[in-house]
Structure formats: structure tokens, C-alpha cells
Amino acid sequence: MNIVLVRHGRPTGAENQKVNSAGFGRWVKRYNHSLVDESSKPDLSVFHHYQHYYAVASDLPRAVHSCEIALDRSPSLQSSQFREMDIPRYKLPIKLNAWTWVYLCRALWTVGVPGKFESYREAKIRAKRAANQLIALAETEQNVIVFAHGYINLHMRKQLRQRGFTQTQKSSQYWGITAFNKP
């Protein structure tokens, strides 16, 4: 059984402008609806190896679009289970670069500061369910590739290792591949 986690290509909404908290909320919304930037291209020779794998994607546009670019086909399964862990948004009276907001809000989120979004605890439970779903698919399909996101992939990696899968490759960059197998 082989399971491959792929981080999507660089989204069009990934610019790093300086914004206040309301502007950051709009930035997150744009980011979540982004496709892959035209200049973000994977090494298609690497993805040629995965052409016969059962393809899964998060239901966010950048993940589905990444699958279409890399494999030249739509995913067989799209699911919100593989969505990125929420980018929390806290109302703070400051102006920061968008990616600084992401890191600051994620830090607050991981220590348990609540808000109107999926909690870190809930997100980790979802990552466990997502990893279990991939394992079930791999038991049927043998080879599964999922186009998802950086933080959810991080947590699915942990779950796959705990379930006895051997990690043979790891990259968290845009188009990064993390591969696992289990005899």
C-alpha cells in the first residue's frame, strides 16, 4: 500500500500585503477560494509516476486545481475532510503582513484561544479521520495520492506513522510530496 500526500501549488491569493484584522479576514477568504498561480508549476516528470494512483483532493479550489495540473485529470474523490486546518482570525488592533497574521493566529489557536472557527483539537481529530479514510482507500485501491495542504498534511503524516506506515519521502513546500508505504 502506498499513500502520497501532496501540498498544493502556490495559490493566486498568497500575496503578503500589510492588513488589519478585517483585511486579514478578507485575505483568508480570497486565499481559500484561490486557484494555483500560473507561475507555480510542478515537475510533471515526478507526477508521471503517480498517474495510476487513486486521486483524492481537498474540496478547496487550489487542491483540486493542483490535482488537475499534476495528473491532468480531476480527483476521483473531493472531500472537506482533507481541507486545510482553519486559518483562525482574531480581532487584534494591529496591522501586519498577511503571513505574519497567519503565524500569529495559528500560534494563538494552537494554545487554545477560542474563536468562531474549527478549534485546534477539532482539527486534529479531523486529521486523524482523514488519515483513516486514506488508509481505508489504500486497502482497496493499493495506491492513493491526496492533494491537500501543509498543516493538515503535517498532522496526517503523524497519524500514518502511528498506524505503521513508513515515510520514504518528505517535503512541505508547494508541490511537495510526502510518501508512505506499508507492505
The domain spans of the chain are: 2-181
Cβ(41)–Cβ(92) below 8 Å: no
- Pairing mode of beta strands 166-169, 177-181: antiparallel
Cβ(56)–Cβ(82) below 8 Å: yes
Task: Tell me the C-alpha distance between 6 and 157, whole Å.
Answer: 11
Computed over every residue of the chain, the mean pLDDT equals: 96
- The neighbouring-strand residues paired with 56 are 77, 146
Rg for the chain, CA atoms, rounded: 16
Mean pLDDT by runs of 10 across the 183 residues of the chain is 97 91 94 95 94 97 98 97 94 95 95 93 97 98 97 97 96 97 91
> What DSSP character marks residue 3?
E
pLDDT in the model for residue 160: 98
CATH number belonging to domain 2-181: 3.40.50.1240
pLDDT in the model for residue 183: 82
Taking the CB of residue 144, how many other CB atoms lie within 10 A of it? 26
Alpha helices in the chain (DSSP H): 21-32, 44-48, 61-71, 98-110, 120-141, 150-162
Q: Which three cell numbers stand for residue 13?
A: 491569493
Task: Give the tens place of pLDDT for each residue, 26-73.
Answer: 999 999 999 999 999 999 999 999 999 999 999 999 999 999 999 999
Selection from 100, 122, 99 nearest residue 110 by Cα = 122
pLDDT in the model for residue 13: 81
